[in-house]
Amino acid sequence: MRFQNEGTAMMSARNREEDRWIRCFHIRQESDVRLFCFPHAGGSASYYFPYSKELAPGVELSAVQYPGRQDRRLEPLVDDIAELADRVHEALRGTLADGDGRPFAFLGHSMGAVVAFEVAQRLKQRDGTVPAHLFASGRRAPSRRRDLADAVHKRDDAGVVRELRTVGATDPRFLGDPELLAAILPVTRNDYRAIETYAWTAGPALDCPITALVGDRDPQTTTDEASAWAEHTTGEFDLRVFPGGHFFLDAHRAEVAELISGALTGEPRTSSLKGSAA
């Protein structure tokens, strides 16, 4: 009995840790595949709530909640991509181990695309499994670097605000509210530090399909830089270019949901949850 109780306690502790990291907005136990989504710099799990409603019924969406935001706002921020990927990997491997055998896929936008890639690498190298598909949105391939002489995380507050206005990541009304801005800036600066100091370490490519998505006017990612994701898999590669800037995902939600749903299940994206209340 003692060992049974210890096992139950360990399982409960593990579940609590996973619950801190993973948010499932609409449970679809009959779905064919689970899609884990990784937020952009300064972003949170709730960014993907609209996509949870848009995807085909055969896809169950869960989003990763990084420390230091929303319900985790009192936890220390993580300003290193490798450490963040390690911690997400630990949470996800428990979730996948306790799952029902459904395949899983990753979607990451901007910084989230790199975190998703690094977590996929850890799953492959340490657990012998890979996502069924990786969707890398709004981010140049890990092997492509830029001169960051004007790194955002080193700018003053006004400089960080300019960046947020440029990429359209934040409601402009928030940027004009001193109290809200005081909450936004530390998280944003932290995440920019993480992604701007990230250095890809060459290693074996993934073997899952990768689809790169990019806006044709994205100041952070050119189509050539997005095309270089092909170098990071031995599987199939596809590049999809959308009209718009860095956050083309907002303006083209229906099209992106259709693309993801089709790639993962072949189903139309029409969902009984579309338009439902939060």
Annotated catalytic residues are 110
How many alpha carbons fall within 13 Å on the CB side of residue 9? Answer: 6
Structure tokens, 137: 């949105």
> What size, in residues, is the chain?
278
Q: How far is CA 29 from CA 24, 130, 141, in A?
A: 11, 21, 33
User: How many Cβ atoms from other residues are within 10 Å of residue 140's Cβ?
Assistant: 23
Structure tokens, 77: 């921020």
Between helix 178-196 and helix 111-122 the angle, nearest 10°, is: 50
**CA-wise closest residue to 137 among 248, 255, 14:** 248
